[in-house]
Structure 1
């Protein structure tokens, strides 16, 4: 498999794409956006950027999620889907004699990727460093490309 520039289609690349983004399929359909007035929905949403790279023996996934910590993430594998969710909130309050200052923030996202059949689900490794959540997905032995075999002619 090689990387190909993403082209939006009405129902995605269900057959030709190894990794299928479930969030994209259900949330970014044109018919969903067109049903809501523009003043409430601008057709954009915030989600972290995602890079997928394939090598001979594994896939590498990098998800840009700065500002989070390891404990903010929840990563599960369910029915062939890699589900990534993160939630973080902060609150700060300062009370003085004649005023009160209160600040808060909330960040959250969810991404789901349909895993190819060639991935060993039990061997998936994840790490988080410098704002990048990285996954290493090992391929099953039968999915790895074997070197050409020379056939002797009798």
Structure 2
């Protein structure tokens, strides 16, 4: 009898990290609603749900609020930027240059009949673009109530 030791970091001959990277992303987004025109990394996004709203946080340090476009088309919320890196002049004597500002677009489908699209707000502070997407009153979870027995 042969004992086969299973390597958790390998799956069908693929490194697990590569497998997670391929299948953990929005690979099957056939409409291509999330892209970076320069094939660079998209900004990271956190989405939190609380009782009254959804909160979207986009990590975009070094940008200005005027660099962003936020649009709502039906229930598709799109965040984009067309900021380009400043040109390097001869006076620029970099020994290392890692800052990179590239165009990007991220789109998120909002739940139908749940969000109050007339009251979405956005602000930019401390390198984060923060959007608040309020829920409609009828979509908010109601607190438990006591039902009297007659």
Q: How far is 1:107 from its partner?
A: 1.3
Write out per-residue CA displacement over residues 93-152 of structure 1, whole angstroms, 9 at most, x where no aligned residue: 348xxxxxxxxx761110000011211111100011111000111100011111122221
Aligned residues: 113
Q: 1:63 aligns with which of 30, 35, 58?
A: 58
Residues in 2 aligned to 1:151 and 1:137: alpha-carbon distance in whole angstroms? 32
Q: 1:150 aligns with which of 122, 146, 149?
A: 146
Question: In the alignment, what sits opposite 2:79?
Answer: 84
Which structure 1 segments of 5+ residues have no match?
Answer: 1-6, 13-20, 29-43, 96-104
Q: 1:52 aligns with which of 47, 56, 59?
A: 47
Residues in 2 aligned to 1:24 and 1:84: alpha-carbon distance in whole angstroms? 20
Question: In the alignment, what sits opposite 2:122?
Answer: 126
Q: 1:25 aligns with which of 29, 36, 50?
A: 29
Q: 1:135 aligns with which of 131, 138, 149?
A: 131
TM-score, structure 2 length as denominator? 0.66
Residues in 2 aligned to 1:106 and 1:150: alpha-carbon distance in whole angstroms? 55
CA RMSD of superposed structures (Å): 2.8
- Note the 1:26-41 alignment, pairs <5 A: 26=30, 27=32
Q: How far is 1:77 from its partner?
A: 0.3
Q: Does 1:75 align with 2:79?
A: no
Residues in 2 aligned to 1:50 and 1:130: alpha-carbon distance in whole angstroms? 15
TM-score, structure 1 length as denominator? 0.64
Q: How far is 1:92 from its partner?
A: 4.2
Residues in 2 aligned to 1:72 and 1:148: alpha-carbon distance in whole angstroms? 44
Distance 1:52 1:106, change over 3 A: closer
**More strand by percentage:** 1
